[in-house]
Amino acid sequence: MLSVSNLDVRYGQFRAVQGVSMEIAKGDVVSLIGANGAGKSTLLRAIAGALPIHSGRLLFKQQEITNTSSSSRVQQGLSLVPEGRRLFSDMTVEENLLLGSTVKRSGDWNIERIFSTFPNLVKRRHAKTGNLSGGEQQATAIGRALMSNPDFLILDEVSLGLSPLVVNQVYDSMESLKDAGTTILLVEQDLERAMRFSKRTICMLEGRVVLDKLTSDTNKEEITQAYFGLHQSSKQEVS
């Protein structure tokens, strides 16, 4: 469904993403893990069309999207819930959700289904998002992305700043997306939660992919080593 090949994304001369390749098939649920600054958000934003690509290629549903606009990628079914939610704080929940349907694909998502997926939003429907709790804001951000009826959803650190209870609620709602067959690529700092949720785990270190495995074929120790680059440095010492 999504094919990333040899992708480089730069800020000026700085290579934040270097030679990254990955294949994500329809229905895959993939967690992207990595330390702060590893390049996760840069990669996700480049996939969504929010950042230009320096070199490499992106194919989505067999079509080249390397240089297409983010709205045309939304039109094709790819939608990003960005890090930090990026809601319009002086607009209401409903108004923010409606913005998500500016690019509208056919499908089952509409504002009422968002409210039944995130029932805690119902009473906040006409509240400005600046006055919401973190969990309510995150639900609104996910709902906004769902309004375009994506079949490939990208989520960047949805649990950031939320209490454990609220994180559980957000993930419970995401389980229903998984059940509906939505392809999901998400960044999650909580490794155990990521491993519980995802079929596959990809770890980035300093702009590169250092591990890409089915979650059932790896374990916490191996991922942690990749996360800290321990595996790599021990290999270097040997050679």
Ligand X SMILES: Nc1ncnc2c1ncn2[C@@H]1O[C@H](COP(=O)(O)OP(=O)(O)O)[C@@H](O)[C@H]1O
Q: Does 228 bind ligand X (CB under 6 A)?
A: no
Q: Does 36 bind ligand X (CB under 6 A)?
A: yes
- CA pair distance 213, 207, nearest whole angstrom: 18
How many residues bind ligand X, per CB under 6 A?
11
CB of 208 to Mg ion, least distance (A): 16
Looking at the Cβ atoms of 41 and 79, the one nearer to Mg ion is: 41
Looking at the Cβ atoms of 11 and 228, the one nearer to ligand X is: 11
Report which of 215, 221, 216 is spatially closest to residue 30, judged by C-alpha positions. 215
Q: Does 82 bind ligand X (CB under 6 A)?
A: no
CB of 227 to ligand X, least distance (A): 11
Between the CA of residue 12 and those of 8, 53, 69, 188, 210, what are the distances in Å? Answer: 12, 12, 21, 27, 24
Binding residue for ligand X, selected from 18, 31, 42, 76, defined by CB under 6 A: 42
Binding residue for ligand X, selected from 22, 40, 46, 94, defined by CB under 6 A: 40
Let me know: does 198 contact 31? Beta carbons within 8 Å: yes
Sign of the Cα pseudo-torsion (230, 233, 237, 239, in order): positive
| Contacts with ligand X, residue ranges (CB under 6 A) | 11, 14, 16, 34, 36-42
